């Protein structure tokens, strides 16, 4: 059974940094496309970053230069390093596998002073 | 960016009746490998999204056969043959042919 478990969300001041983690079981992170989708309160879905099995990375324009996706094969974990956070980054962040076959439960990031 | 436009945005339905959601993309979703990477997701209240359909018309395992997907190029449809109470939620189409991967605005399905 595939499980994705996100951690690392919380309340952070504008300009601050957070690192989200997505621990995977039942799949090998480095063998798959994986990524991060966020959902602002009461809003729709936005794909913010993807990392391919070969290690290529992609970012939405809204986060380019501020967010970095990475993975640790030894821990079978996906990460999203988020810097220079803004109020508009407030959202539930989900990690997902491939074309969305599996999703984590999400972790809430709130950017507020 | 590829813009995904869903209609309607709100869909009141009667139990046991069919329902249909349209999704149009601003450019063709046919990939260079010949596949069309158009998926449908259901998000029940308070839950993470779950995939129903991948590559236009392939139902994920465990998805009831009352759900079906069709379409090609830029025009796609999700159909529910007979709506049940558990189908209440928001439905999203998503393309992952072109980066950035983009979602439709969502269609809220509710029981009349």
- Strand pairing partners for A47? A37
CA distance B31 to chain A (A): 14
pLDDT of A45 reads 96
Q: How do residues A24-75 score in pLDDT, each as one tens digit?
A: 999 999 999 999 999 999 999 999 999 999 999 999 999 999 999 999 999 9
Average pLDDT on B29-54 reads 96
A61, A100, A105: residue with CB nearest B39: A100
pLDDT of B68 reads 98
In the Cβ-directed half-sphere of B58, how many Cα atoms lie within 13 Å? 11
Asked if B103 is an interface residue toward chain A (Cβ–Cβ < 8 A), one would say: yes
pLDDT at residue B83 is higher than 90: yes
Q: Does residue A102 carry a pLDDT above 90?
A: yes
Mean pLDDT of chain B: 97
Q: Does B51 touch chain A (CB under 8 A)?
A: yes
Task: Name the pLDDT band for A113 (thresholds 50, 70, 90).
Answer: very high
Sign of the Cα torsion B98, B101, B104, B110 reads positive
């Amino acid at each position: 059974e595939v499980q994705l478990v996100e951690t690392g969300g919380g309340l952070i001041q504008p300009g601050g940094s957070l690192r989200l983690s997505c621990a995977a079981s039942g799949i090998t992170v480095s063998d798959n496309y994986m990524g991060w989708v966020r959902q602002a309160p009461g809003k729709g879905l936005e794909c913010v970053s993807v990392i391919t099995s070969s290690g290529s990375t992609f970012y939405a324009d809204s986060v380019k230069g501020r967010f970095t996706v990475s993975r640790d094969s030894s821990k079978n974990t996906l990460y999203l390093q988020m810097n220079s956070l803004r109020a508009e980054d407030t959202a539930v962040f989900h990690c997902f596998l491939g074309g969305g076959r599996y999703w984590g439960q999400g972790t809430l990031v709130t950017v507020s002073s | 960016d590829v813009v995904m436009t869903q209609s309607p945005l709100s869909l009141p339905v009667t139990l046991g009746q069919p329902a249909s959601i349209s999704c149009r993309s601003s450019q063709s979703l046919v990939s260079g490998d010949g596949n069309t990477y158009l998926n449908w997701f259901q998000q029940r209240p308070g839950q993470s999204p779950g995939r129903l359909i991948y590559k236009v018309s392939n139902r994920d395992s465990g998805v009831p056969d009352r759900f079906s997907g069709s379409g090609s190029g830029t025009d796609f449809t999700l159909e529910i043959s007979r709506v049940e109470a558990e189908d209440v939620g928001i439905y999203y189409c998503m393309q992952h042919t072109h980066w950035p991967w983009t979602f439709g605005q969502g269609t809220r399905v509710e029981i009349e």
